[in-house]
Every structure is written in structure tokens, then in C-alpha cells.
A and B are shown apart, each in its own frame.
Chain A
């Protein structure tokens, strides 16, 4: 490698040091967020901290702006007011292109429908972010990384060359997750990962998320409707209602609060079924 190349790489590295996830106790820090579409106020004075290394579940009724919250954090939606810091950086105020790229490199996003590029195969989909951020990687390593990520998310060995249209719903979600994990992000956003999956597939997906988060030390921002997912994967749960986060905490902590929506949510028939099931498996685990 020539001297020039080395210099170039050290410059790249210097720029890449702008964001240092490991230094922050809170991966995401939101203060006074306000989102408004015309007259409709979605969020008003929303505060939320996501701690590094935790899996935070975000729940709320339909239309409470869970997805809007995620889109605001990753910069797809400019908030009307308020501040969002991800690893100490605010996306709106980053003037430096390099710095904002570096921030984007730290997170992976899995959209609800997978949002795979339909003209690319699964392996090529995974390689898109790699090519974008590390154009110097050679093809062999790119292929190996793609194969590795395919294996990591539990797709079958022949899934790599397939196109998104040839995959089942569960496989599309896994492929979407593999692309989100392509850059080894520190922060993972999941928008309804188990929606549209059958209970067995959903349970397996929950397990996968838990496993990956443990192995890779991920911080996960998980939007879900699925009570089983909440019990199986989340360290803490944030409840969105009345245009803000009304409570954050572990599920037992939330159950202790008096808020009627939270009580309805966790103590409704579905909530109790999920909780009962969870307790039953825990008992079984203890026995064995």
C-alpha cells in the first residue's frame, strides 16, 4: 500500500472518530420534541432517553406517532421544535457532511415492510451500505461479509442470491435486519419487526433480536404492537400517549403505575395472556 493511500486512510479514520458511541451512557437523548403536521400535533414536549446497551420497546396506540418518533430520530422528519441528540450529536445542526455520515454509520434501520431494494438480490442489498461507506473493501471480503450476515440473521444458505420478491414475509424481515446490521451499528432501529409474522416466526425473531443484541452489544429502539415481543425482548418499555412519553420503565414498574391506558394495555385479555405465557416459560426454565 502506498504512502498516499495510508494518509488517505488515516484521514478517513480521523473523520470517523467524530462520533464515539462507547463514551455515552445514553445513546439517544430527546428533550421537548414537538412534531406537527398542519394543525395536527403529534408530539408535544416529548422527553425520552435511550440508555446504551438496552433494548427499549416503544408502545402506544395507533396514531400516537411511534413511527414519526423514529423518523425524527434518524432525520427523515425534521421536528417542529425540540432537540434530539444521538451520541451527543444533533442531526439538524451538524454542518459537517463527514460528521453526519459518521453518525449515520452508527445506526441501522429496519423498516416495517423491509424496504429492501427490489432490483438487488439479498446479498447485494446487504452490500449497499458497505459499498457506500467503505468503497475500498474488495469484492471477496464484501461477499464474505454478506454471506456472514445472511447466516447471522438465520436465513437459509441459498437466500443470498435471491431477489426480495422471491422471499416469504419472514425472510424479507430477516433480510431487512441483515442490511440494517451490515455496518455493525451500535444502535439499531426496528419498526414493528414482528408485524405480519405468524406466532412461531415472531417468537423466533424476538429470540434473534435478543441474541444479536447480546452478542454485538447493540442498543435497540424497538417499535412494536406485539405484547409477546415486549415480554420476550425488551429491557425497558416507553409508553407513548397524550403526545408524549407518559412512562418509561421495566414492565413490572409500568404495571405499578395507575395510568388507565397502561393498565388497559397490559391487563387487557391479550396483555394477560402474554404475561401468563411468559411466567409459565420462566417457571419451566427454572425447573429445567
Chain B
């Protein structure tokens, strides 16, 4: 077995004389640094009995020399080469970023996060503006919208989402009907379950759930795709060739999500109504025909218009947020993940805020 690093020491007039033995290498360092530190003043370091020394060993020696002003004796040519390489450079090499007290860092984080939210909002609005300008130039220059790209997105944003959105809405319809029925039964008014399901799904829930699903499925996909394209410099390459990334990447995606949202929202509302109808039929013994007749009586046309007005707005919002976050990706792969997350979070948050504004707005119009 190879000897690990060790040392013997004897006290001299000006400090300890340390004689290293074994191998002063990273693998065999053991507790040598700690014991050296405990030793007090050191006058000489004798390296003559060392079997081998590596860069870490050389560093330990240099460190001791610098701290104690110790002399080195008996270094082999190998050791000397290593030590020389170390001694020639005296600049301060930094390892960590500057550290500040915890409370300052906390304040700083709160501050940065707050301004980040503000900048993000400004950024999204600015990006939306840039997109409108790009659309304007495209129309003025009579360049055609890239329909092929739009149709491809149709497939992924719309058609591929049909099964999951349908199933989700159907189940939500059942849940609303069931919960509503339990409450309304107490007053003997379970027939009004139909009002609840019908109006809630057409006016709010169908579209809202669709928006959340689309933000999660497609907003995130936009951000990740564009983010990766940014990382691989595809977007820069596009710019150099003279293709505007706004026209080629952003507009088709936003167009697709804007056009599909009303369709998906309407489809989701129908699925929710179907789910509610299934529960009403089985749970409350109201036949489907009566259910549909009743729906026609209670759902005003304005509910439908409200949905159709909100849907494209949500679509634009999800598309723009996804593309904006994707375009913000810089530097590394971790950014893609972060930006994708914030695309989804920002999109869902903004959709719900806007939905609340719309609710107040339409109520004050008298569209109850």
C-alpha cells in the first residue's frame, strides 16, 4: 500500500520544522491541512522525503509558505516545477460572487421581482405592439400571411387538443350539475340545475377552462420552441437572411391561437352542456329533449356573444405571451425552462384578470 501524506515536526528556534513524508497528493491528503493549521508558526518545510507531490500538494506547501514565511528545503525537480508555476502569479483569483447580508439580499429580491413583473407586463405590451406593426407592414407590402405555418399550428393547437379539452369539459359539466343539484334540491328547485350548467358553461367556464388548457399545451410549446430556436441562433440566422422572425414565427402562431380559441371554446361549452345533460338525465330524470328545450329558453344570445368576444382576445393573449417569453430566452438551456414556465403562468394569470374585467364590463352593459 502506498503511504498517505503525513508529516513529522520538531520545534526549532523560529518555529516548527516540518518534514513531509509519503505522497502529498489530492487522493492521499487526509487530515494534513487541518493538522498543519493547528501547528502554529512554521519555519521550514522539508520536502526531501516526499514520494510524490501534485498540484494540490504544491498548493498546500505554497499556502504554508505564504502564511508563515516558511522556507522550503529539499524539493525534487518535479516539486520545484510545480511550486514555481504557483509562485509566479500573485494576483487575487476570485471564486465567489460578492456576498451581502441576508436582509439586504431579501429586500433586493423583493425589489427585483417587483420590477421584473412590471417589466414583463411592459414587455408583453411592447411585443404586442411590435407584432401589430409587423402585421401592418406585411399587409402594406402585400406579402401573404404564411398560411402553411398557420395551418400546421391549427393542427397542434386546435385539432390535437380536441380529445383532452372535450373530456375535461364534459367532466366539468357533470361536476357543476352534480354540485348544483345537491344545493338546489334543498329548496326543491333542482330543475334550475339546467340554468346553472347552461349559462355557466356558455358564458364562463367552457372558455376559461379551454384558455387554461391551451395556455398549458400551446403557450408553453410556443415558448419552448422559440426559446430553443433562439439558443441555436436560428432566429438570428433568419434575421440575417432577411426573413422577419415576427412574420415567420410569431404571427402564424398568434394567428392560429386567435382563430382556434373561439372554436375550441364553443366546442368546450357544448361538451360541458353534454356532460351536465348526462347527469341531469341520469341523476334527476330530466330527458334530453326537455333539457335542450329548457336551455333554449334560458340562455340569452348575449351569453354566446360574450363568449365569442372574449375567445379571440384570450387567444391573442396566450399566443403573444408564449412567443414573447420564447423570444426572451438568452444564454442557456435553463432559461428555456424558466421562460416556458413563466409563459404559462403569465398567460393563465392574465386570462383570469381579463375575464374578471370582461365580467364587470358586460354586466354594466346590462348583458346579464
Contact = CB atoms under 8 A, between A and B. Distances in A.
Interface of A: 1, 5, 9-10, 13-14, 16-17, 20, 105, 118-119, 121, 123, 130, 134, 137-138, 141, 143-152, 157-158, 160-161, 163-165, 181, 183-184, 214-217
Given A1-B31, A143-B96, A184-B25, A157 B91 contact: yes
B81 interface: yes
Given A118-B333, A160-B94, A161-B94, A184 B81 contact: no
A16 B96 CA distance: 31
Interface string B328-345: 001111100000000000
Contacts of B85: 152, 215
B334 A118 contact: yes
A141 B89 CA distance: 18
Given A13-B4, A119-B332, A161 B27 contact: no
Contacts of B89: 151
A134 to B, nearest CB: 7
Contacts, number: 93
A214 B81 contact: yes
Nearest to A134: B26
Contacts of A130: 26
Contacts of B56: 145, 184
Given A13-B1, A157-B94, A184 B55 contact: yes
Given A13-B28, A134-B29, A160-B95, 12 more contacts: A13-B1, A16-B27, A17-B1, A17-B2, A147-B94, A148-B59, A152-B55, A157-B94, A158-B94, A163-B331, A163-B332, A184-B54
Given A13-B1, A152-B55, A184 B26 contact: yes
Contacts of B33: 138, 141
B168 to A, nearest CB: 35
B171 interface: no
Contacts of B26: 130, 134, 183-184
B78 interface: yes
B93 interface: yes
Nearest to B26: A184
Contacts of B333: 118
A39 B55 CA distance: 46
Given A144-B63, A145-B56, A148-B55, A217 B94 contact: no
A138 B34 CA distance: 9
Interface string B80-108: 01100110010111111100000000000
B27 A13 contact: yes
- 5 pairs of A and B residues whose beta carbons are closest in the complex: A165-B331, A147-B93, A118-B332, A184-B54, A123-B95
Contacts of B4: 9-10, 13
Interface string B15-51: 0000000000111111101100000000000000000
Contacts of B54: 184, 216
A260 to B, nearest CB: 38
Nearest to A122: B95
Nearest to A146: B95
Contact of B82 (A118, A121, A215): A215
7 contacts: A1-B34, A9-B4, A16-B28, A17-B1, A20-B2, A150-B93, A184-B56
Nearest to A158: B94
A160 B93 contact: yes
A84 B1 CA distance: 26
B87 to A, nearest CB: 11
Nearest to B60: A141
Contacts of A119: 332, 334
B323 to A, nearest CB: 22
Contacts of B29: 134, 137
Given A9-B30, A152-B55, A183-B26, A143 B95 contact: yes
A148 B81 contact: no
A10 B82 CA distance: 27
A164 B78 contact: no
Nearest to A166: B331
Contacts of B27: 13, 16, 105, 134
Contacts of A121: 97
Contacts of A20: 2
Nearest to B27: A16
Contacts of B59: 144-145, 148
Interface string B320-363: 00000000001111100000000000000000000000000000
Contacts of A143: 95-96
B151 to A, nearest CB: 36
Contacts of A217: 78
Nearest to B98: A161
B30 A157 contact: no
A145 B82 CA distance: 14
A123 B93 CA distance: 10
Contacts of B34: 1, 138
Contacts of A16: 27-28
Contact of B93 (A9, A138, A151, A214): A151
A163 B93 CA distance: 15
A184 B55 CA distance: 7
